[in-house]
Amino acid sequence: MRFFLAIISILILVLGRTVQPASAATTAAQSFAAVRIQAKPKFDAELSDPAWGKAVTASEFFDLTTRRPAKLATTAYLLYDDKNVYVAFRCDQDGVPIHAEQTTNNIGFGQDDFVAVGIDTSGAGSQVYFFETTPRAVRYQQASESARYAPPWEAQAAVTGSTWTAMLTIPLADLRAAGGSPRTWRFNFIRGVAGVAEHYTWAYNGLMQDGQPPNWPAFSDARFWPALTGIVLALAAARPRPRAEIYGLESMGRDRKLFAQPNNTFATQTVRNYGLDVTYPLTNTIAAVGALNPDFSNVEVDQQTIVPQVFPRNLTEYRPFFAQGAAYFTNQSVVLGSQLSVPDEIFYSPSIGTFDRGLKIEGTYGLQQFGLLSVRATQPGAVLDDQAFGFKHALTDRTFLYWVYGVLAHHDIGNDSTVETGLAGRNLQSGFVWGYDQALEQRRLTTDPSQVFSYARSGFVDVHKPNYEVYTGYVDVAPQYGPLDGFTNVNDLRGPQVSTDFTTSSRGIKTWTGYFGVDRFLTHSGTVKQADFLGTTDIFTNNLFHLNLTQSTTSLDDPVLTGGRRLPFNQSSVSLGYKDGTPSPTDFTYSAGPFSTFYLQLFNVTATRSLGSRFNVQAMYAGSHERSASMGVNGQILRSIAVGESLGTDSNITLALRTINGTGGFAQPGLNFASSFHTRFANGNELFVNYGSPAAPVSLDRLIIKYVLRLGGAAGT
């Protein structure tokens, strides 16, 4: 521990001198008056329309990857009228090839060059949107309120030599925004340069973290954006239209009734052939959401999972009812734990399997966000009648926030009530951050008539600076804690966590990051339960090589997981990559160490390539090797390949083949072939045709055809 603390001190001293915050960056303290126009600007490669000369104009971008002023010039413009927000970009790219291979919307985000606008209509980080486009005008978008956000909007682009320009036309009806008197939004412009794997941002703060999609761009960065003031909208201009989604589904084949369960297994279920999801805006920023007979076939998530791309964008929760406003029912946006452990959640919607109907109200007002939810299921063996609620108040700069969440679960196996509360704060000058969170649970199961009272609580203090962070926390989870609708990582533990991380760069290194953390947990009876150490460092060089070194050490002593024996779960790993973050990465990873009662070795080789503008290919070769005195030697080999073809701006088809052979290992041996076809029609309706499932251990003889009829407003609005 002394050695560890000494290393932390040295890093703080060195990094505090080597990395200085940028002084010329656009910051959250600045504001810009919005410019209203009467007619849509015309688009051409020179952005010659006089309207752009009146627009809010942004230049002097920063490179978030290298934390230096951007080498390539970018200029962005923003205007608005009664119906739309208009954004234009001019991007110089001398010396760096322009990448524009993808041709299907929402496929391959991050593999091509792109520009984007970020808009926070709440001004408080609770209603954040990103709209991105490439030099081919391929569109992508995200919203903090829904993982299924996919409204219609327009992108145009033109390439002239080493310069490319783009224009985004975003309907106000795609945004939840208050109307009436002058409003203040927050906004930002960003850019991705695929050839050198770098990300630019106009608004810059040293606390911003770079990453790869889907972890970047980050909704939480809205607190660092400048203000866009004086926005005047008609009350109905930014209110999404009511919408309804009616699906029809048919399945065929020997395995037509096999579907994925919340525990990641496959089981027989009665096929649902139709269902309904509806959303009705009550105000510009609050909506009622309902579901009747919702689908559980996974076709949307399967389609996203097997598409070969560098950065898969799997949906955390694909069902429209749960996806809409999901962030308003969980404290995931408030980090109350180090990277050593997965945060617990009292409401984890993927744990709720097939349900029959649901109703909720969710949205924001002022500095508040909230949600009220009720869901019912009457399937044999899975009867439930559950309610959940959430409320969070956060200042625009996140210097103070508090929250309360609750779940009232009524299952056929018993009842459970859990309430979680907490608060957190930040000092912008000193970088001091603090937080406390507590969940109280009361449970009574049919197998045990006695009531169980339990809790989970955690607190932390943290110093967060632009180039380093030092964290100290304490976690205490009661022995029987485990909300029925929640996700509990491990219970019956208490103990401290300490960690530090750093970010820096130098002349030959594009970026160098590191993280080191330790914890030690006891059971509530006083015995040692778990001790962890995690140390990892990433070095990205200017010539696009990537080196990662990681040491993960865990000692686990648990009556259930290890039978009361103290077992090691240790892995030392090295990863070598070339062109990571570009359209053509190649990576090799090797790890080894004692793992439970055997010695485990793992390796993994992956590569992704775009073949012209129509095809994407991803290949993987991986293996495991186990050795112990009792089991002898076992091993498995995994081989997989996925090929995707673009059939147009809103259509694609994907074929995936995976085989696993050998004994031992962590997977069921077998051959799995899966395919998917997806198209979105001009009227917003969608068609899915899936064979098999990439989530199954072996091929499923199951063909699913699903058609979604969309009436009224756009998806996810």
Question: 656-661 contacts: CB < 8 A, separation 24 or more?
Answer: 656/306, 656/308, 656/694, 658/694, 660/636, 660/697, 661/636, 661/637
Alpha carbon separation from 140 to 115, 134, 143 (Å, rounded): 10, 9, 11
Q: Which of 218-227, 342-351, 552-561 has the highest mean pLDDT?
A: 218-227
Per the domain annotation, does 216 fall within a domain?
yes
Kindly compute the dihedral angle of the four CA atoms of residues 339, 345, 351, 357, in this order, to the nearest 10 degrees.
-140
Rounded Cα gap, residues 126 and 363, in angstroms: 9
User: Between vectors from CA 131 to CA 129 and to CA 132, what angle results, nearest 5°?
Assistant: 145
Rounded Cα gap, residues 111 and 98, in angstroms: 11
Lowest mean pLDDT among 99-103, 122-126, 498-502, 575-579: 122-126
> Two tokens at 693?
């499932």
pLDDT tens for residues 550-564? Answer: 999 998 887 666 666
Q: What is the pLDDT of residue 560?
A: 64
pLDDT reading at 361 higher than 70: yes
Rounded average pLDDT over 15-39? 75
Per the domain annotation, does 133 fall within a domain?
yes
Lowest mean pLDDT among 250-259, 334-343, 381-390, 405-414: 334-343
Rounded Cα gap, residues 228 and 448, in angstroms: 57
Q: What is the pLDDT of residue 332?
A: 57
Q: What is the CATH number of the domain that holds 150?
A: 2.60.40.1190
pLDDT band at 351 (very low <50, low <70, confident <90, very high): confident
Q: What is the pLDDT of residue 490?
A: 85
pLDDT tens for residues 72-100? Answer: 999 999 999 999 999 999 999 999 999 99
> Two tokens at 6?
């000494």
Per the domain annotation, does 48 fall within a domain?
yes
Element at 305 (helix H, strand E): helix 299-306
pLDDT tens for residues 598-645? Answer: 999 999 999 999 888 899 999 999 999 999 888 788 899 999 999 999
Q: What is the pLDDT of residue 239?
A: 84
pLDDT reading at 346 higher than 60: yes
pTM: 0.91
Q: In terms of residue numbers, what domain contains 182?
A: 26-233
Rounded Cα gap, residues 178 and 122, in angstroms: 8
Per the domain annotation, does 107 fall within a domain?
yes
Q: What is the pLDDT of residue 335?
A: 45
Per the domain annotation, does 136 fall within a domain?
yes
Q: What is the pLDDT of residue 6?
A: 47
Lowest mean pLDDT among 5-14, 93-102, 445-454: 5-14
Per the domain annotation, does 146 fall within a domain?
yes
Task: Write down the residue that tokens 């609750």 correspond to.
Answer: 406
Closest alpha carbon to 299 in 591, 25, 702, 592: 702
Per the domain annotation, does 224 fall within a domain?
yes
Per the domain annotation, does 274 fall within a domain?
no
Number of domains within the chain? 1
pLDDT reading at 363 higher than 50: yes
